[in-house]
Amino acid sequence: MISITTFVFSPIQENTYLLFNEQKDCIIIDPGCYFPAEKQKLKETIAGMELNPVLLLNTHCHLDHVFGNSFVAETWNLQPHIHPQEQPVLDRAGEAGKKWGLPFDNYTGPVTYLQEGDTVSLGQDVFEVFFTPGHSPGSISFYNEKQGFIVSGDVLFDRSIGRTDLPGGDYDTLINSIQQKLFTLPDDIKVYSGHGNPTTTGFEKMNNPFVKMY
């Protein structure tokens, strides 16, 4: 059984996810901890729950989703798992931080690449990797069929979608990713987004003004 803890970090109010099982192994997804107090909160939470971080995953590499990559990598000896098409986005994240007035220590070490159809595991629990570009050229989502949820980054939000005006974004590609990957899942699949509250695939099919199906 996977449990999920959500942190809302940085001035951009990004969702950082901590997924853990009964054996106390955990996955950190999109560490957006920017301020020292936020990094300390993540560290203290993991220590207080006696968790063992085993994976660092990035749905994509816009600056708000990678603020904490270096901290996580150094603290728990992990390297980011990203899609190959996100490497240039990660490489530019430090300059993007300066441009937006949010300078940070960008991660520049080795990474592990994930592709459509790959899987990552937390103990006996398996996550399928979906390639869901549009918001960013190499956006990926992590789907756990057993428990009925997907961590989708900035692809789909509660009654909204990710912006497509950033470098590498494309509106039609994003809509196709949502319709062909997320909306083909059962209606009760819970969607954990990169910002805001969780939603479900069925609710968004009925209510999302950008990709409403019914």
Confidence of residue 212 (pLDDT cuts 50, 70, 90): confident
Structure tokens at 180: 């062909």
**pLDDT, position 92:** 96
Confidence of residue 214 (pLDDT cuts 50, 70, 90): low
Task: For residues 169-190, give the mean pLDDT.
Answer: 97
Which CATH fold would you assign to the domain 3-207?
Metallo-beta-lactamase; Chain A (3.60.15)
0.85 cut: is pTM over it? Answer: yes
Task: For residues 154-180, give the mean pLDDT.
Answer: 96
Identify whether the C-beta of residue 15 lies closer than 8 Å to the C-beta of residue 194: yes
Task: For residues 77-90, give the mean pLDDT.
Answer: 98
Residue 210 pLDDT > 80, yes or no? Answer: yes
What percent of the chain clears pLDDT 70, i.e. is strictly above it?
Answer: 100
**pLDDT, position 208:** 96
Q: What is the chain's mean pLDDT, rounded?
A: 97
